[in-house]
A = this chain, B = another copy of it.
Amino acid sequence: METIHLKDFYQRGDQVFLPHVSVDCVIFGFHENQLKVLLLKWKGGQWCLPGGFVKHEESVDDSAVRTLEERTGLDHIYLRQFYTFGHPNREKGKKIPDARSWVNKRFISIGYYALVEFSKVNPQPDILSTECRWWDINKVPALIYDHKEIIKKALESLRMDLNDHPVGYNLLQEKFTMPELQRLYETILDESLDRRNFQKRMLALEIFERLKERRTGGAHKAPYLYRFDKKKYERALKQGLKQGW
């Protein structure tokens, strides 16, 4: 992350970044059987999505990648553009210290969602914020602008993508159990699934490898551990999965 002074950013940021264009990232994680989103607390006290601006010679995708890296410390993240928000009143209530700043102008924001492994993330605030932390998807606080709507649309897109993209690889730790994978799907879809049918369906995708180990330590019968078979997983990502759900 480059160091940039706030005053510089407001006054001369447009020498580095395109005006009127921003990127917002809905970063999903999964922890303790809950779907989480990473949010930032503005200096004003309100919460918002991590976002950024597009450098003059930078691709929009790269700008999203950069934001992701800066907020999470991770690279090679699963990232997907899902919608562009372009209503002129989307930033209602906008207040920037310097009224003449380029940042004070209208912004069209390109929405990306990311899937990250919760335990690997080291949340980092940006220069405009004081705090960066996970929120339960069902307990998101009031957000600035249209950010609530952006999250809603991100979640809808994620649900759609679940149809033909194996999604656990990005959200779970390397080794995981079927019940864990099922919780993940149930959380994203917000519905409960039949244990036996779920397992059958998942295994039918043929992208998993069952290990001989089991997850011990918990109460009750120890479940098997699985991991993604990298080769088959990659192939599935390219071809799209067989239809389902």
Contacts and interface: CB of A to CB of B under 8 A. Distances in A.
Interface of A: 18-21, 54, 56-61, 63, 81, 83-84, 86-88, 106, 108, 110
A157 to B, nearest CB: 12
In the A-B complex, the 3 residue pairs with the smallest Cβ-Cβ separation, listed nearest first, are A60-B86, A84-B84, A59-B87
Given A60-B84, A61-B86, A84-B60, A54 B108 contact: yes
A21 B108 contact: yes
B18 A106 contact: yes
11 contacts: A18-B108, A19-B19, A20-B20, A21-B108, A54-B86, A56-B106, A57-B88, A59-B86, A60-B87, A86-B110, A108-B110
A131 to B, nearest CB: 29
Contacts of A81: 83-84
A58 B20 CA distance: 13
A59 B84 contact: no
B59 A88 contact: yes
Contacts of A58: 88
A19 B106 CA distance: 11
Nearest to A64: B86
